[in-house]
Amino acid sequence: MDIEYREFSDKAGRYAYLNEQLDRVLSETDELCSALANASALFYLLMPGLNWAGFYLMKRGRLMLGPFQGKPAVARIEVGAGVCGTAVARRAPQIVEDVHACNNHIACDAASSSEIVVPIFADGEILGVIDIDSPLKANFDAEDLKGLQTAADKIGAFAQNCAAVD
């Protein structure tokens, strides 16, 4: 595929590129696991200043670790627990500027300082979440949320088609 890192002067340009490349990797497969593995690699490759990027997926009423890039992470998160479980409980994205000042944060890598979590919906249900960590404080803002929301919508639509194929 040969997808390369590119420098951008603004986040809007970076996310436009990232979401174009996401379309490419999603068009290569009809397997959710393969798609999420490549999507996590894309986030890690194309977004500077990250130490973890990946997915937790809803299975049997809780979040289970999915494909990711970064250090090994907690395998299972209850709804309402941590930043990921809060995003599921509230059915809403979460941006944490300083995870060390956040009571309901589950630490996986001591290097993490800020985090963004975006729920993925498929057929109106939460399929899982995109979870991205940075060692930089306040690394994520409304522009990141907009770009990652587009990515989450693409992945949700892809998952709906996977289910149709299966």
* CB of residue 91 to ligand SME, shortest distance in Å: 15
**Site residues (vs ligand SME, CB under 6 A):** 52, 73-74, 77, 82-84, 105-106, 108, 115, 131, 133
State in angstroms the smallest separation of the CB of 26 from ligand SME.
Answer: 23
Least CB distance to ligand SME at residue 143 (A): 21
Nearer to ligand SME by C-beta: 3 or 95?
Answer: 95
Whichever of 22 and 84 has its CB closer to ligand SME, that residue is 84
Q: How far is the CB of 131 from ligand SME (least distance, A)?
A: 5
Place of tokens 């009571």: 103
Nearer to ligand SME, 83 or 155 (CB): 83
CA pair distance 162, 139, nearest whole angstrom: 33
Q: Are 17 and 8 in contact (CB under 8 A)?
A: yes
d(CA 110, CA 62): 24
